[in-house]
Amino acid sequence: MNFLRNSLFVSCILAGLTPLSALAADQPNAPTPPAAAPAQPAAPAPKLFAQVYGDWVYRCLSSPADAKAAQMVCSVQQQLVLKKDGHVTQLLTVTFVKDDTKGHDMNILAPLGVALKPGVQLSVDSQKPMAATYSFCNENGCFVIGEPAAHFTKDIHSNQAKGHAKIGLMNGKLITIDFSLKGLMPALAALDSGVPPAREVKPG
């Protein structure tokens, strides 16, 4: 189940993936195919529900398996972007999901151009950092998937605490991206409650 949740997280971030279409082969002597079955009603579109806690968003994506059942995928996320001259650059996305032991895993998306080793060093204020290893990279960036979060969250002692992600670049330089921890613990409590946010976020 933990692997499934992290896989769902990855599938939500990866863009441009579409199912393959089946192509009918030309068979002039083939028997006439039976009449097509009546078209099934389209499955309901996924719905996104979200609640803001400080600088974090508790979000649940409802993905209906059929008309009667829906699967809810929930996470707590903060996305950092750099806006300059009308351009938006993704800097860092930190996401928390529930694991199989009533704890949390961290998923991290870093920009392209990072050095894969030693990975990302995460810390709270001046506490000892934890090392997180990249799982893979693609055109969207480099991903850390399923990193246990207990070492990180245990150091959050106040709403004013700051998170730090130290990342190595391919040119040998190290950069530190700071992110807010304001609202993280209440957001994680909401995630643990299993109760999705009440507010639906409409597309567009």
pLDDT in tens, 24-74: 223 344 445 555 556 666 656 788 999 999 999 999 998 765 545 567 899
pLDDT of 27: 37
Number of Cβ within a 10 Å radius of residue 57: 19
Across the strands, what pairs with 124? 163
| Structure confidence at residue 18 (pLDDT) | 26
Mean pLDDT of the chain: 80
The predicted model scores a pTM of 0.75
Q: What whole-number distance in Å separates Cα of residue 183 and Cα of residue 188?
A: 9
Rounded Cα distance between 33 and 56, Å, is 54
Q: Per-residue pLDDT tens for 133-169? A: 999 999 999 999 999 999 999 999 887 899 999 999 9
